[in-house]
Every structure is written in C-alpha cells, then in structure tokens.
C-alpha cells in the first residue's frame, strides 16, 4: 500500500485495530493526538474507522489490510512500515483463538492460532525493532491473556500461545533494558468485544460473568501503565486472585468445565 513519503512524525502501530481492544487502542491514542498505522484483516471496516479517526481527532492514519497468518504478509507489512514511518509505539494486539475439542479441530484452525499469536507477533516485533531503537523513546505492548497462566481443556493451543507471548515479552524487555525501547505485556481476561462473544462467555456461568472486561477501560489502563513502564499489566483482579489462590489440580478442571459450556 503506497504512502506519499516517509513522515518525520511519530506513529503508533496497532495490529487487530478494526474492532474490540485494538479499536479502543486506536481511539485512545488518537485522543492523545498520536498518529496511527492501523492493521487488520480485509473487510472489517478498517478504512472507515481510519477516516473517522482522522476527521474527529485530526491525526494522521495509515490503514493496512492484511492477513497476518501468512508469514510473507508480515514481512511485507514490516517493510511498508519501515519504508514510510518512524515508529515510537508498537501494539501487538492481533490474536485469534476459539473453543473446540482438540480432536475435532482442523489443521488450519491450529495453524492460524500459532501463526497469528506467536509467529506474527515475534516477526513483526523483530522487523520493527531497529525502527523503534532509532527513536528517542519507544514502547512495545504485547497483548497476552489471563489464559497464559493456566492450561485449559477445549482451548489447548490458545493458552499455550499466550504463555509464549508472556515469556517472550518478559525476556525481550530484560534484553532491551539498557536501550530506549521498553517492552510490556498485558494479560486481560475475556472482553465485551461483541454481543456474540459476550453471550458465549456468559455461558461459562458465574465465573465468566465476573471476569468480563470493558475493552475501552482496558485500553485506557494499558496506555496509562505502559507510559509508567509497568512491564506486566494486570487488568482483572478477580481472575488474577483466583489463578493465584487455586492450585493447578483444582484450577485446570474448574476452568475446563466452564469453557466446555461454550460448545455444549
């Protein structure tokens, strides 16, 4: 996707920006008068969102529609960003998951989770890091999940992918601690990103209802804590308390039973 010329201004890159938490990140940064590179799958309303943000908040936006489950696409995106923009913040928000019996899952379903959640996040960060290192101060925020702290039946691959994101973020932040780039990871629980997702989570029973989050509030808190250089951002105290209190022998079957209700 062409852009006029490399801007000397700073931009925030947000993946998965067309809806849910990614959209809220875009709106919150725009309120702070920060220019945006917005990335999402095609046909999810990204171009309209980009125009709306420009008109309402008077910031520059650059939308890029692409499927991040294809590794070559991640490289193309990174090259386009590096050729056109100075990046001061990278928000690796794009992610995918689902609830299925593992034996019934298609290979493409498993591969897409791993490619988007693990591979795309790692490679995009790697490719944009030199750009971030050139700035006076830069930040990376990776979106993990409360699922990173416990295996769960009927999700299996998704929690494992988010455990990777948590570990990757902590390790990279330590590696970059003497540079201008600060790395943080946020571990939210389920969010009210759509009526369908909210209904599905509520099927989990009381546990699901108690832990549902508002994506707007999550985005606001994440940005606040990112600029405070909080390396591990926790946004759901109820979920976190339960995970710390319950031993794995109780937690694993409890969470698995709750998740199983989604597909029953």
102 part of a folded domain: yes
Contact present, 88 and 9 (Cβ < 8 Å): no
- Residue 117 forms part of a structural domain: yes
In the chain, the number of structural domains is 1
Burial class (CB in 10 A: 0-12, 13-18, 19+), 192: middle
204 within some domain: no
Tokens 């593992």 -> residue: 102
Closest CA to 188 of 46, 93, 89, 68: 93
State the CATH number of the domain containing residue 36: 3.40.50.720
Per-residue model confidence (pLDDT) at position 2: 43
Render pLDDT for 60-84 as a digit per residue (tens, 0 to 9).
999 999 999 999 999 999 999 999 9
In a domain, 81, yes or no: yes
Residue of 162, 217, 221, 244 marked catalytic: 162
- Is residue 208 one of the residues assigned to a domain? no
Is 248 inside any structural domain?
A: no
Note whether residue 49 is domain-resident.
Answer: yes
Annotation says 162 is catalytic:
yes
CB 62 within 8 A of CB 82: no
| Mean pLDDT, the chain cut into blocks of 10 residues (264 residues total) | 63 97 97 98 96 97 98 98 98 94 96 98 98 98 92 92 98 98 92 60 56 88 97 85 80 81 76
Domain span including residue 56 = 10-196+213-236
Q: Is 139 a catalytic residue?
A: no
Please report how the helices 46-57 and 20-31 are oriented relative to each other, as an axis angle in degrees rounded to 10: 20
Q: Is residue 222 part of a domain?
A: yes
Q: Which pLDDT does position 1 carry in this prediction?
A: 42
Query: For the segment 3-47, what is each residue's pLDDT rounded down to a tens digit?
Result: 555 668 999 999 999 999 999 999 999 999 999 999 999 999 999
The proportion of the chain whose per-residue pLDDT surpasses 90, expressed as a percent, equals: 72
Catalytic annotation, pick one of 57, 139, 154, 158: 158
């Amino acid at each position: 996707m062409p852009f006029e010329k490399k801007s000397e201004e700073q931009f925030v890159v947000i993946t998965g920006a067309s809806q849910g938490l990614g959209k809220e990140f875009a709106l919150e940064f725009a309120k702070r008068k920060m220019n945006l590179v917005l990335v999402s799958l095609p046909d999810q309303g990204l171009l309209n969102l980009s125009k709306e943000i420009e008109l309402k908040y008077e910031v520059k936006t650059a939308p890029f529609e692409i499927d991040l489950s294809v590794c070559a696409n991640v490289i193309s995106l990174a090259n386009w960003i590096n050729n056109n923009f100075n990046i001061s913040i990278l928000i690796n928000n794009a992610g995918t998951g689902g609830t299925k019996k593992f034996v019934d899952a298609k290979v493409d379903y498993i591969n897409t989770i791993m490619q988007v959640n693990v591979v795309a996040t790692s490679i995009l960060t790697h490719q944009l890091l030199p750009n971030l290192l050139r700035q006076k101060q830069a930040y990376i925020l990776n979106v993990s999940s409360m699922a990173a702290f416990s295996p769960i039946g009927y999700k299996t691959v998704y929690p494992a992918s988010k455990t990777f994101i948590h570990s990757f973020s902590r390790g990279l932040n330590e590696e970059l601690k003497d540079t201008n780039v600060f790395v943080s990871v946020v571990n939210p629980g389920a969010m009210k990103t759509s009526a369908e997702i909210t209904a599905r989570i509520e099927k989990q029973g009381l546990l699901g209802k108690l832990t549902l989050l508002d994506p707007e509030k999550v985005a606001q808190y994440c940005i606040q804590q990112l600029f405070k250089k909080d390396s591990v951002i926790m946004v759901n105290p109820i979920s976190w308390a339960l995970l710390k209190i319950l031993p794995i022998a109780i937690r694993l079957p409890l969470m698995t039973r709750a998740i199983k209700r989604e597909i029953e």
